[in-house]
Amino acid sequence: MITILIVFHTQTGNTERLARAVAQGVEDTSNISAIFKRAADTMAKDIKDSSAIIICSPEYFGYMAGAIKDLFDRTYEELKDDNKVYKKPYAVVVSAGNDGQGALTSIERIIRGLRFKKVQNPIIWKGGVTEEILMKCYEFGRTIAEGVKTGIF
């Protein structure tokens, strides 16, 4: 079974809404399952066992959410040399309060150390949640799911 892990953190609910739209896009792809988890509840095993990972973070003070950083801190040593994560497909969604670049840069810097493989340009959204961004996140999830399913990613 192909599974895509969608990891998120949220304070206001905005990032969770974006992550849920991504998860729905994954789920609406045949023979693909979405695993939807808060960063605080995600373990290294979840990452290892998934076929791909989508990280959804708000931007706080020009940086990723502390809970996302905590996930990396808790799992890095176990994952860094594990062949199960070598070139694991990943993508990022940032709900930005600023321009989102600081959050994205900090996430991607850590992911380089984990040796994941970027398969989609990130979504960086500034402002309130709209139907437009929910549809974009839904399509993002579907695109990544289809790519994983067909072996493109």
Render each residue's pLDDT in the chain as its tens digit; 153 residues. Answer: 899 999 999 999 999 999 999 999 999 999 999 999 999 999 999 999 999 999 999 999 999 999 999 999 999 999 999 998 999 999 999 999 889 999 999 999 999 999 999 999 999 999 889 999 999 999 999 999 999 999 999
d(CA 124, CA 113): 22
Domain chopping of the chain, boundaries:
2-150
Predicted local confidence at residue 98, as pLDDT: 86
Q: Which fold has domain 2-150?
A: Rossmann fold (3.40.50)
Name the one residue in this structure whose structure tokens are 């990544």: 144
Predicted local confidence at residue 3, as pLDDT: 98
Predicted local confidence at residue 7, as pLDDT: 98
d(CA 86, CA 71): 18
Predicted local confidence at residue 97, as pLDDT: 82
d(CA 79, CA 18): 26
